[in-house]
Amino acid sequence: MTTTAPALSPTISPARVRLALLALALGGFGIGATEFVASGLLPNIAADLLPALDAASHQQAIAQTGIMISAYAAGVVVGAPTIAVFAARLPRKGLLLALVAFFGGAGFLLPYLIVLTVQARGDISVVLLGGKRTHVRI
């Protein structure tokens, strides 16, 4: 009985390894910065998003804003492994293009969706639309 040696993967040059590590490090820094920088900006975010509550109780407005940031973090915790599991067998380039198109489209449509949500919910006095304050009374 004869056995054959397994095919060895091609060697990767040290320059490509360093480039891959740099990309991972920059990606990790970017993700960490977006997750943790919001905690330092809680008072500012609370004053912008919840002006009435901030005027009544600054601490309560900060707490409500912290809950919003925690909800985002929970979405990342659930979403990242879910996308990884369901996309494991898809071609990487197509997956990357689809995700970029999805998140780009969602970012473009978000201001319009905020207005639709406000109109559906009822009397909301302030909506942040593209960085501008728009007063909406329904």
pLDDT digits (tens, 9 = 90+) for 31-58: 888 778 888 888 988 888 888 888 899 8
What does the pLDDT read at residue 136? 46
85-132, pLDDT tens digit by residue?
988 889 989 988 998 999 899 888 877 666 555 555 554 444 454 555
* Cα distance between residue 41 and residue 8, in whole Å: 50
* Cα distance between residue 138 and residue 135, in whole Å: 10
DSSP states of 110-129 as a string? HHHHHHHHHHHH----EEEE
Whether pTM exceeds 0.75 = no
